[in-house]
Structure 1
């Protein structure tokens, strides 16, 4: 952390170690921090909690956040849900999308990042991928909306999750 983000070092540390009392106290004094960037790479408190793997902190932060705060992106365009999908954090993802269903269809700001279901598949988190897929609006996976639907299919072939029969049909020997 550098520059204007130095003042958030205590919050960052408290989130990483899972000290809710310290996190809550910091947020009481600086409530705007909940929806702000607290690192030089534009990470939010929620994004840091996901990265730390701290479900309890994630749940408490989500409770305090406004729906639109869950759409905050880091410098790479990732939301906290994108990171939960990468790490396979099912309960974290469930917590976030229960508050904001727009997260299912959120790619990054440049449009180059896949929706969360694609990330879950890519990283082999099939339980989470199935959950996200079932809740992702089908129209968002149609070709006219971009590559997300096709990418899901390709990733399922690549990861072998379509099964032997599907591979034989698609790629006969």
Structure 2
């Protein structure tokens, strides 16, 4: 099985930060554009800025889209990461805020390793993002006794131990 093809125009525009030209690349918004099967949204959060992601989401709203915004945001890359997973990994706090506001259900999505975005934020030491996620959507993160919900833990590959996002 060969490597996925990189779609040069949208990938190049995203990598150079030329978000304006992405308007011309709308037909590629919903397709993987990199070897990691990232969409343009995944690449936008790598910029560590809010504006590219916000602008791309506005373009989707303005144009006739084959997917709902929620379905678009739930597209996963090769590692099973949604755009919210990627935003937590890259420490893009503003993108995390925007994504959780637009689609709180992204907090429940697990990647190929069984990790939720809260788990990846904790795993990458993004304490500010962990705190924001818990404070903004407590019912999706902790139970009535303020214990982390089991969805934010994962079993080890041998199935014998459980790893939880460490909050503090």
Is the TM value for this pair above 0.5?
yes
List 4+ stretches of structure 1 deviating above 4 A. none
Shift of 1:146: 6.7
RMSD, aligned CA:
2.6
1:142 and 2:149 are equivalent in the alignment? yes
Shift of 1:129: 0.6
The total of aligned residue pairs comes to: 146
Distance 1:57 1:142, change over 3 A: closer
Gaps of 5+ in 1: 162-173
Q: Provide the rounded CA distance (Å) in 2 between the counterparts of 1:105 and 1:4.
A: 27
Please say which structure displays the higher CA radius of gyration. Answer: 1
Q: Which has the higher helix share?
A: 1
Deviation digits for residues 10-52 of structure 1 (CA, Å, limit 9, x no counterpart): 211111222122111222xx2xx21221223211110111223
Superposed, which structure 2 residues align to 1:71-150 within 5 Å? 71-108=74-111, 110=112, 112-134=113-135, 135-136=137-138, 137=140, 138=142, 141-143=148-150, 145=151, 147=153
